[in-house]
Amino acid sequence: MSIQNIDVKYTAVATAENGRDGRVASDDGKLDVVVNPPKELGGSGAGTNPEQLFAAGYSACFQGALGVVARRAKADISGSTVTAKVGIGQNESGGFGLEVELVTSIPNVDEATAKSLIEQAHQVCPYSNATRGNIKVDIKLA
């Protein structure tokens, strides 16, 4: 797989202090959150965690990609939702890995159209393009 060349239109900048047990803030001050490992990973669970932030970003981005393909197809996706479930666990080499499940609900279209739209969105979404071939990503219709 070759590295994708893009024409960058925007760059997000965030800085973490103390890794998974600290703070993350964007350079513009719009994001400033305490991060702590979840209880399931031995942490306090007091703040958010990188997996929740990834799930939030992926679901929002996928919803945006769904809007792009729906406009092209003249499909009504009003009332639609995308839920991202991001799992973390140990991989075979002793490190850690992620997997994602995207569950999309599109109430105003038939099942075949909805499935086609989410397949197309998966090809358009920057998060899907970034993760493709690297981690398991399951896309499902609710």
Q: Give the pLDDT band (50/70/90) at residue 17.
A: very high
Q: Give the pLDDT band (50/70/90) at residue 4.
A: confident
Q: Give the pLDDT band (50/70/90) at residue 1.
A: low
DSSP secondary structure code for residue 92 in this structure: T
DSSP secondary structure code for residue 43 in this structure: S
Q: How far apart are CA 71 and CA 57, in angstroms?
A: 21
Q: How far apart are CA 142 and CA 131, in angstroms?
A: 22
Q: What's domain 1-48's architecture?
A: Single Sheet (2.20)
Q: What is the pLDDT of residues 53-66, one digit of tens each?
A: 999 999 999 999 99
Average of per-residue pLDDT across 114-130: 98
What length does the chain have?
142
Average of per-residue pLDDT across 22-41: 97
Q: How far apart are CA 50 and CA 42, in angstroms?
A: 15
Pick among 3.30.70.20, 3.30.300.20, 3.30.413.10, 1.10.150.20: CATH of 49-141? 3.30.300.20
Domain boundaries, the chain: 1-48, 49-141
pLDDT at 77 over 70: yes
